[in-house]
Amino acid sequence: MKTAGVIAEYNPFHKGHKYQLDKIREETGADYIIVAMSGDFLQRGVPALTDKYRRTRMALSEGADLVLELPAVYATASAEIFAKGGVNLLAATGVVDVLCYGCETLQPALMKGLVSLLTEESPEYQEKLRGCLAAGDSFPTARARVLRLLYTERFPSSCDHAYSDPSGKSADSSENYPPGRELEDFLASPNNILALEYEKALATLPHSIPHRLASHPILRVGGGYHSRELIPAIGSFAVSCDAATGSSAVSCDPVADSSAVSCDPAAGSSSVSCDAATGSSAVSCDPAAGSASDNCNSGTAYASATAIREALESCKSERDIRSKLAGSVPSSVLSILCDAWEHQALLWEDDFSAALYTRLWACRESGYEAFADCSRDLSNKIQNRLDEFVSFTQFAGLLKSRDITYTRVCRALTHILLGITKDRVWLTPGYLRVLGFRDSAAGLLSAIKKEASVPLITKVSDASRILSEEAYAMLRKDIHCADLYRGIASIRCHRQLSNEFTQGLILL
């Protein structure tokens, strides 16, 4: 039995994710795919578009066999902690053989060199990083500058020297630009940075988790991380034939749920033939250009989750959703999103504005420095500008600066909202929380129960007697986060929703 692991948010699941899961099975020969998925709050410091159970159903419908929840203390953290938590979680199953992740470029030598620099964290690295931060760089910018500098010093032969410093400043300057084009491009990609953190986490797995994983990067295709471009819908074709003349007509409904024959006009060509004697017609699609199926896209055109979320926010009807997103998400996911829209179960950052303001106001006197990702400077800024609060997104934009990114601000605000503090550091997950699985994965669950280094939780009500005190504290934090999300969702849809103790597993 070969099992692959994936760390994901699926916010929401789209055709690029489907492509990745398919490629994992094709390239690794995996019998099972386990997904470690964020719960109701995400790494960018924002709430998920829809709840973790709907997103679990999306994943299971499109190729995942088992979905485990990535605890909130990891899911809402920096890329480094997010990756470490996900890798440790998958390793703790005892059955995952290979970690698979998306990467913009497949450059093993470059990846290996950068990972070695990060895992060493030499005094030189730390000194230069402090210098860039003191000069006003944000942490991501500062680290990228230092990595570029040290990599080109240690591995000069691997750099093509396509870039040079146009200002002529010294290599120690925070304004220095790298000499390697490939290195520059690699470090500019958020997906590559996360891939780098996955490899670093694999290289530094704690001794408390004896199981070790290989890695297998999957080359990403389609829109970039921040792309706003959607993919045109794959229309459904109706073919009519005039028996008297032998002519045929094709009509296309771009928002139809399903069709007997469909082809992506941008990716595949279709031809219609008609038998004048019988009045029958046949439609064929050029396999080299596109296949006649729900997933018939060019193979390189996948919309980003960012583009999909922005489109959803502007939709006014279910038909609007189907029209805009039919080409960007699988049909099963489209149905789940339409159901979520119909039940007012799509949430945005500003739905949490009142809860966030109340929390900020309650903590104003003591300050916010105790919360994860909140520095003293940011805490002071929040205190001084709280009277200007209008909404979650407005306030985050107000607080961001050259040295503190918008995402870092959002993470700090979300940690304040959720009560995630710096003093509670969980090095390894204390449990494996099952959100859902396919019937065909029963054997996988049995194997995990036998091999896992931490308990497997399928019923929250059983956790208090199974888990250690420390592990149960982590689970209680997840329950707290889920209760807040459920409460806001209940207010939005004007009905009581299931809590963590009454919500069942998602079974397909």
Distance CA 42, CA 108 (A): 28
Q: In sequence order, what are the residues at sequence separation of 6 or more whose Cβ sits closer than 8 angstroms to the Cβ of residue 316? A: none
pLDDT value at residue 283: 42
pLDDT value at residue 158: 61
SS3 282: strand
284-332 residue pLDDT tens: 444 333 333 344 334 456 899 999 999 999 999 999 999 999 999 999 9
Measured CA to CA in angstroms, residue 341 lies from 157, 306, 317, 450, 487 at distances of 54, 17, 8, 40, 17
Distance CA 100, CA 33 (A): 10
Distance CA 445, CA 65 (A): 10
What are the tokens at 242? 């005039």
User: DSSP string spanning 50-116?
Assistant: S-HHHHHHHHHHTT-SEEEEEPHHHHTS-HHHHHHHHHHHHHHTS---EEEEEESS--HHHHHHHHH
Distance CA 350, CA 140 (A): 26
Cβ pair 259, 280 in contact under 8 A:
no
Cβ pair 473, 466 in contact under 8 A:
no
Distance CA 26, CA 18 (A): 12
pLDDT value at residue 157: 64
pLDDT value at residue 230: 77
Measured CA to CA in angstroms, residue 233 lies from 260, 278, 358 at distances of 15, 32, 42
Which residues are bridge partners to 139 per DSSP?
none
Distance CA 337, CA 387 (A): 36
SS3 track for 425-491? CCCCCCCEEEEEECHHHHHHHHHHHHHCCCCEECCHHHHHHHCCHHHHHHHHHHHHHHHHHHHHHHH
Q: Characterize 184-204 residue by residue with b for buried, 16 or more Cβ atoms within 10 angstroms of its Cβ, and e for exposed.
A: bebbebeebbbbbbbbbbbee
Cβ pair 308, 277 in contact under 8 A:
no
Q: In sequence order, what are the residues at sequence separation of 6 or more whose Cβ sits closer than 8 angstroms to the Cβ of residue 5? A: 33, 34, 35, 36, 90, 93, 96, 98, 99, 100, 213
What are the tokens at 403? 């040295």
Distance CA 454, CA 436 (A): 18
Ranges of the chain with pLDDT below 70 = 157-181, 222-228, 232-301
pLDDT value at residue 269: 42
Q: Which of 23, 48, 45 is nearest to 33 (CA)?
A: 23
